[in-house]
Amino acid sequence: MRRIWYDPHAAPYHAPSHPTGPINRYEAYRNIGMTVTLDEIYQRLYDVYGPQNWWPAESSFEVIVGAILVQNTAWNNAQLAIQNLRDADLLTSDRLYDLPLEELEPLIRSAGYYRMKARRLRNVLDHLHKHYQGSVDRFFDLDTETLRRELLSINGIGPETADSILLYGALRPVFVVDAYTNRVLKRHRLIDYDAGYDELQSHFHSHLEKGVPLYNEFHALIVRVGHLHCRKTPQCEKCPLEEWIPDGGICLPENERGNRRRGSRK
């Protein structure tokens, strides 16, 4: 399978010096009350979990399909749908484009919202065939800004899905922000709780060395710790990031504060 990851036999990533210099960089963190840097979070998660070997796909087109099927569901559910498409030899732009919606829908039922997702896949396929003769390679020849703008213009593709396609399919250095990323940063008070997608993404772009392998691995590691610990109800005990819980406990909105005790430092 086509994957992007660090060599598991290589030494773990260690953050290089920042162009502005370490004093300015870490002073910036202190000025906004941060007690840990993104580099430190990455290193801790990598040391504990190792390389995540993500995203599992055999082609860039499969990444596009997977990014849509995984919307609002667990990866295992999306993976079952992808396997159905693979077994039917349909994981190419041309073959899936020729498949009627009523035949596509039952194949992707396991991913949930299968009728909506079938239409969203159709929207992508229509865009590819109308503008790029069905070629993902031609589509991905666009510069990053234009490619992202076109992805977002397709009905059913939002920022997270677009950036997943950019990072994992087109191999562009664009950090993916998902629910786990949102929780980890906000609960640890690393960013304002009202911060939106663009602000969260900008935070990663501003405080990390730019690069596809690092963004790939870091996002996958956040998903891992989020799945195990940073759930809707926080499970902070034995989390690799537990020592960096703020002194007052993790930050939660009003409707989650009944769970605050679970997220406080033991």
CB 176 within 8 A of CB 164: yes
Cα 263 to Cα 266: distance, rounded to the nearest angstrom = 9
pLDDT tops 80 at residue 6: no
pLDDT at 254 over 90: no
What pLDDT is recorded for position 95?
98
Q: Rounded to whole angstroms, what are the CA distances from 7 to 175, 192, 216, 217?
A: 20, 35, 13, 11
CA angle 113, 115, 120 (to 5 degrees): 90
Give pLDDT tens digits for 205-214: 999 999 999 9
Exposed e or buried b per residue across 194-230, where buried means at least 16 C-beta atoms within 10 angstroms of its C-beta: ebeeeebbebbeebbeeebebbbbbbbbbbbbbeebb
Predicted pLDDT at 28:
37
* 36-50, 130-144, 252-266: range with lowest mean pLDDT: 252-266
Confidence of residue 35 (pLDDT cuts 50, 70, 90): low
Q: Is the pLDDT of residue 170 over 70?
A: yes
pLDDT of amino acid 221: 98
Is residue 182 within 8 A of residue 219, CB to CB? The reply is no
Q: How many CA atoms lie within 13 A of 152 on its CB side?
A: 10
Query: What pLDDT digit, counting tens, does each position of 9-34 carry?
Result: 334 434 443 333 332 333 333 344 44
**Look-up: residue for tokens 């790029």?**
132
Q: How far apart are CA 255 and CA 240, in angstroms?
A: 26
Give me the helix-helix angle, 60-69 and 114-132, nearest 10°. Answer: 150
Task: For residue 123, name the pLDDT band (cuts at 50, 70, 90).
Answer: very high
Higher pLDDT, 134 or 256: 134
d(CA 130, CA 112): 28
The percent of residues in the chain predicted with pLDDT above 70, rounded, is: 82
Q: Summarize the confidence of residues 178-189 as an average pLDDT.
A: 95
Mean of the per-residue pLDDT values of the chain: 86
The type of residue at 198 is: D
pLDDT tens, position by position, 101-116 = 999 999 999 999 999 9
User: Which of the two residues, 19 and 200, has the higher pLDDT score?
Assistant: 200
Domain boundaries, the chain: 22-50+176-263, 60-169
Residue type, 221: L
Task: Identify the sign of the CA torsion 64, 68, 72, 76.
Answer: negative
**How far apart, in whole angstroms, are the C-alpha atoms of residue 246 and residue 190?**
10
Distances (CA, A) of 203 to 72, 115, 207, 265: 24, 36, 6, 25
Residue 169 DSSP class: I
pTM of the model: 0.83
- Please give the pLDDT value at position 20: 32
Confidence label for 246 from pLDDT (cuts 50, 70 and 90): confident
Given a contact cutoff of 8 angstroms between Cβ atoms, the answer to whether 262 and 247 are in contact is no
Q: Are 243 and 236 in contact, with CB atoms under 8 Å apart?
A: no
Instruction: Please tell me the predicted confidence (pLDDT) of residue 214.
Output: 97
CATH topology of domain 60-169: Endonuclease III; domain 1 (1.10.340)
CATH code for 22-50+176-263? 1.10.1670.10
Q: What pLDDT score does 75 carry? A: 94
Average pLDDT over residues 241-263: 67
Q: What's the pLDDT at 9?
A: 33
> Which letter does DSSP use for residue 10 in this model?
S
